[in-house]
Amino acid sequence: MIKFIFKAIVRDKNRSLLPIIVISIGVFLTIALSGYIKGVFGDMIDQTARFQTGHVKIMSKAYADNKDQVPNDLALIGASELTTSLKTKYPNYSWVNRIKFGGLLDASDGNGGSKGQGPAMGMAIEMFSEPSNEVERLNIPNSLVSGNIPSKSGEVLIGAEFAEKLDVKVGDEITYMGTTMNGAMTFESLTISGTVRFGVSAMDKGMIICDIADARKMLDMKDATGEILGYSLDELYFDDKARALTSTFNAKYADSTDEYAPVMFPLSEQNSMGSYLKLVDSFSSLFVIIFVIIMSIVLWNTGLIGGLRRYQEFGIRIALGEEKGHIYKTLIYEAVLIGIIGSVTGTLLGITLTLFMQKHGIDISGMMENATMMMPTVMKSKFTPELLYIGFIPGLFAMVIGNMLSGIGIYKRETATLFKELEV
């Protein structure tokens, strides 16, 4: 009977084509918007990963216990060897070194005196390493207020508000005063190549960004790094993959008593991001549920209207001697087949668009030219396993329920009433 119903669906396009198109569009929208919502809600996670946590982060055990103090005296030694090993063993991740440091910046008045001083929060990144992609990852090109990105050793970027406070501009020299990794005092002259505004008050009022080679020289951290951050190559964070990588890496050092041994943390175990991830999942799931309900109502009505329009057909079939129960079952089987065809079609189209948007996204850089807030310039979708089946809720079940309700009218059809209707 299924084969017979399938042939009827294929041959009678007036009866099946419109429902299949409506279901396909509904499921397509459900999948595409669900994936897009997942991607949009991940923006804050993405920014936190870019600037602070990475998708995974490696520190020494002692550094991790005191990370809020940024204790560079407890930094990882032999950073180049460890980084090379990570790139070899875990090629699905991009591995970069970073150093955070603090100190005092002094702006010279040109006459041997000082015209301003202020506490500085420093970040050293692999600025001149092409494969690292750190400059783009931190969205520095779109955050520049004046000047240029450093192009040689000794040049730094400084927060725009910090520059105003110190009364310095692009091309001026400033002096960094702080302590080295070994506790000695250090003084280093730096040249301002540009000012940046990220839209984060703490960064704009006291941030300097330099190349990691300059920081190692300045802080006496030869072949050392405070943190090694890992980013998946598609720049998307998946907690289960990050936790699996973390477990594999930490298992190698589980028995080590060395306080300088490396330890890895996934993003969800840093900066209270675990609770935020749960909140994101809850809100995104809520939006998806609401949209699925709306689409279910639409497709339910499609099935209901489709069944109501065939009341006369049902009456004729009853008059010819077909049992009402058999008519009702064929109606449900037909709805199931139409729902499956439409749901599969819509799911394939929706997943295709989601994967395309996950890779390419929507470029909104033109809208961000004068923006002061730090946010991605490419809005991407995110593929998750539930997108493979979530479209079947409105596409299949709602369609079937609609036909089941409309089919109840089959049992209300009376042969005598039918003949009267046909006479008219």
What is the DSSP track for 28-90? HHHHHHHHHHHHHHTHHHHHHIIIII-SEEEEEHHHHHTGGG--GGGPEE-HHHHHHHHHHH-
Domain boundary among 236, 261, 296: 236
**Domain contains 261:** no
What's the pLDDT at 409? 59
Rounded to whole angstroms, the maximal C-alpha distance in the chain is 110
What's the pLDDT at 4? 53
**DSSP conformational letter for 393:** I
Residues 347 and 418 in one domain: yes
238, two tokens: 């998946």
Residues 190 and 319 in one domain: no
Residues 280 and 135 in one domain: no
**Domain contains 241:** no
Residues 71 and 152 in one domain: yes
Residues 11 and 98 in one domain: no
**Domain contains 264:** no
Cβ neighbourhood burial of 2 (10 Å; 0-12, 13-18, 19+): exposed
Residues 159 and 34 in one domain: no
**Domain contains 17:** yes
Those residues of the chain that have pLDDT short of 50 are 372-374, 419-420, 422, 424
**Domain contains 250:** no
What's the pLDDT at 195? 94
- Can you give the residue range of the structural domain that contains 352? 2-44+276-423
**Domain contains 247:** no
Residues 6 and 82 in one domain: no
Residues 284 and 224 in one domain: no
Per-residue pLDDT of 215-268, as tens digits, reads: 999 999 999 999 999 999 887 788 889 999 999 999 998 888 888 899 999 998
Residues 10 and 108 in one domain: no
What's the pLDDT at 147? 92
Residues 230 and 151 in one domain: yes
**Cβ(268)–Cβ(277) under 8 Å?**
yes
**Domain contains 257:** no
What's the pLDDT at 372? 46
Q: Nearest 5°: CA angle at 168, between 165 and 171?
A: 155
**Domain contains 384:** yes
Q: pTM of the entire structure?
A: 0.66
| Domains of the chain: total | 2
> Quick count: other Cβ atoms within 10 Å of Cβ 3?
7
Residues 30 and 128 in one domain: no
Domain boundary among 236, 262, 287: 236
Of 273, 320, 340, 325, the C-alpha closest to 20 is 340
Domain boundary among 173, 205, 236: 236
**Cβ(373)–Cβ(298) under 8 Å?**
no
Residues 77 and 123 in one domain: yes
